[in-house]
Structure 1
Amino acid sequence: MTLADSAASPLCIAFVVLHTSPIDEPGTKDAGGMNVVVRAQAEELAKLGHRVELITRRQDTTSRALSELAPNLRLHILDAGPAETIEKGDHELYIDEFREQLRPLLEELDVDVIHGEHWFSGIAALPLARELEVPLVQSFHSIAAKDSSPLADGERAESPGRLAGEAMLAKESDALVVISDAERHTAVSRLGANPEHVKIVPPGVDHDLFYPAEHSDANTSRRKRLISAGRLHPLKGFDLIIEALALIDEQIRPLLVIVGSAPPDSTAYETSLHEAVERLGLADDVLFVGPKTRAPLAEELRASDIALMPSHSETFGLVSLESASSGLPVIAYRSGGLQESVLDGVTGLLVDSRDPAEWAATITRLLTDEALTRKLSEQARQHALEMTWQASAEQLLAVYRELTAASFDTVDAAHE
């Protein structure tokens, strides 16, 4: 086979996602934006003719070990640890057991490239990639803060091996795929990654699913709706927007819709949110609707007027892009990748503070300035239309092609 033949041939790509299934719905268990990104890119790669194998850990006793999700796309479930949903940090205990189950599967699949999603997966897959002499691509989706960083209320400390594990993967993986320039900077500055090995692959959005509502004049008098979606975890900052809502004038106070549920390690935080609503007298102003699958989430977005992203930090903040595609201006905390997913003054507004009063003032600004809100809404949709999952998958494929071509060269040289 020539190098040209190798570059044109379909690849077999293994996405390893130890701690959460790629088909879990965001807002449930430990599923979030990572699950959306992995599945969407996998589906697009499969449509391009590549064989894509999604591999995860069993979380129940009923799911089949192998499922055909679509042409060229399969899901494998490996037995490692208890067959139940466990706290995210506890997955470190089962990395070795997962690796032993992963080894024969990868050998059987004859993969061309392995893509580790989150550090658990990368640590499990790295030795096997070396044994099989195939490239390992690593994505973190979030990078641990330093040990000295204070924990948010209710937040669990990182699993013990994460800091060292991420640093090792940053140096040992054949490529790091990140979702934003902010994540790239963190990988280089905090983890010591080689800048030349870090590749930015932006996400996309399903424009046919996330589209703007048609607002008639008859709806202009209805109560405004704010929406915030994600796992009910301290890092997502839902407590901030509940506090801010209480400071908005009752005459114009909107309804706040919160979409999502708590992962196993954040049930106390979810309870604290409900307690805050009662304490602040907001029982008629906050609606917890639980987790939503993709289509119902899109409907919730279309029924809303402004999206809120109060997270302490995000590598990108995929919900902000889905909100923009739905024609919603987004108010977000100015940190990390949120500074890239929300274009300040173009698709939404960035808030520099975590002071509830400043958030209340920013929300009030959009509630009372219809011209600004309409302008941001239109620009948000136009920006989102430029982001597609096909383009995202093609950029990811380019990373794989570069690595497999280099691997082909190495093997070819060894046989000369």
Structure 2
Amino acid sequence: MLDSPSENVLYMLRVLCSITTDYSMQICVLCLTDDPFDPPGHGRHGGSHRVMFDMGRHFVRRGATITYVCRRNSTDKATFEQLGARCRIHRIPVGPPERMPYYACAGLLDEMTEAVGATIDLTPGSFDCLVSYNWLSGEVAARLCPPSISHTHYVLTLGRAKRASGESKDKISDFWLACEDNVFAHARYVITGSTRERQDLLSLYPAVNPEKIFCIPPGVDLNVYGRRPRSADHLVRRASDRFSEGPNDAG
């Protein structure tokens, strides 16, 4: 297992570069359900947008050029921003300009596909690889990405795993599951964030070629992050009292 963000990013870059060491590549990142520059806070689901942001930041530091494409979820945001010499973001104006749960974006799939195709150039030679996050972005990539551009899909959640845990068909639709099958068949590489997720992928999607699956956990800097305290109240109480938690007091 890789222990630091830099090690994980280097490994992912080698996967994207077909295990070479040339990182000066053009990468398109489809993250249509999340804006990678949104801050974490109230109403946000998980932290997937932070994964997208951090991976892109480390790619740029290694010499890659990143083009993000997401859905515009606020009228306060520009549809295009150039963020330094090697990073830019397109926010396609599809659906209401507000945050939507990822499963609610399924009805916008055809419109998003058309908008992405009209916004970025995916002809051969335009990008070295395309990275998709979440099944909706993966399906758009499968529809638009030509064979000359390597498609890597980063799994954020598995529909069949959610179904098995009791999620309803109202959220985890049959259409979602069919799109996942198409995405896994199209992608050259599939990346999971944990070994458990890789095991679920292999057991619940037996048609997926195991050789295209890479497990790359998000990097954690142990000099910055530690174990979470018992509760938020416990954290606030300790901070206000300037009390240092002992090694056996983190349960």
Deviations 1:234-279 (A, max 9, x none): xxxxxxxxxxxxxxxxxxxxx356xxxxxxxxxxxxxxxxxxxxxx
* Matched residue, 1:187: 201
Relative to structure 1, the CA distance from residue 122 to residue 108 in structure 2 (aligned partners, 3 Å threshold; closer, same or farther) is: closer
Larger RCO (alpha carbons 8 Å, 6+ apart) = 2
Task: Tell me whether 1:227 sits opposite 2:103 in the alignment.
Answer: no
TM-score between the two structures when normalised by the length of structure 1: 0.48
CA distances 1:300-338 after superposition (whole Å, capped 9, x unpaired): 7x949xxxxxxxxxxxxxxxxxxxxxx98xxxxxxxxxx
- CA distance in structure 1 between the aligned counterparts of 2:64 and 2:47, rounded to whole angstroms: 23
Secondary structure of the structure 1 residue equivalent to 2:63: coil
Contact 2:181 2:205 in 1 (8 A): yes
SS of equivalent to 1:104: helix
Whether the 8 Å contact between 2:162 and 2:172 is mirrored in structure 1 is no
Corresponding position of 1:67: 81
Partner of 1:49: 63
Partners of 1:148 and 1:71 in 2: CA distance:
45
Higher helix share: 1
Q: Give the structure 1 partner of residue 5 of structure 2.
A: none
SS of the counterpart of 1:196?
Answer: helix
Deviation of 1:47 after TM superposition, in Å, equals: 0.8
Q: Shift of the alpha carbon at 1:7?
A: 5.9
**What residue is the counterpart of 1:119 in the other structure?**
135
* Alpha carbons 1:117, 1:138 under 8 Å: kept: yes
**Partner of 2:155 in structure 1?**
140
Say yes or no: does 1:373 pair with 2:249: yes
**8 Å contact 1:170–1:187 — kept in the other structure?**
no
Deviation of the 1:211 alpha carbon: 5.1
Deviations 1:358-386 (A, max 9, x none): xxxxxxxxxxxx55337x9xxxxxxxxxx
Unaligned 5+ residue runs, structure 1?
A: 213-224, 229-254, 258-299, 305-326, 329-369, 377-416
Structure 1 distance, partners of 2:157, 2:219, is 18
- Separation in structure 1 between the aligned mates of residue 21 and residue 119 of structure 2, nearest angstrom: 25
Match of 2:213 among 198, 202, 211: 198
Cα shift at 1:106: 3.0
Distance of aligned partners of 1:7 and 1:69 in 2 relative to their CA distance in 1, 3 Å threshold: same
Over 3 Å counting, the alpha-carbon distance change for 1:303 and 1:126 in structure 2 is farther
3-state DSSP of counterpart to 1:226: coil
The amino acid of 2:205's aligned partner reads: L
- Residues 25 and 31, structure 1, Cα contact 8 Å, conserved in 2: no
State the shift of 1:149 in Å. Answer: 4.5
Contact 2:122 2:144 in 1 (8 A): no
Q: Within 2, Cα distance between the matches of 1:51 and 1:42?
A: 9
Change (3 A) 1:66 1:371: closer
Aligned residues: 225
Q: CA deviation at 1:74?
A: 1.7
Could you say what secondary structure the match of 2:99 adopts? coil
Distance change >3 Å, CA 65–CA 211, structure 1 → 2:
same
Identity %: 23
* Structure 1 position 100 matched with structure 2 position 114: yes
Question: Contact between 1:20 and 1:30, CA under 8 Å: does it hold in 2?
Answer: no
Q: How does 1:14-413 map to 2 (within 5 A)?
A: 14-107=28-121, 110-130=126-146, 133-144=148-159, 145=161, 147=163, 149-151=165-167, 157-192=171-206, 193-206=208-221, 210=224, 226-227=230-231, 255=233, 303=239, 372-373=248-249
Q: Secondary structure at the match of 1:136?
A: strand
Q: RMSD in angstroms over aligned alpha carbons?
A: 3.3
Relative to structure 1, the CA distance from residue 67 to residue 157 in structure 2 (aligned partners, 3 Å threshold; closer, same or farther) is: same
Task: Name the structure 2 match of 1:309.
Answer: none
Give the letter aligned to residue 117 of structure 1.
Y
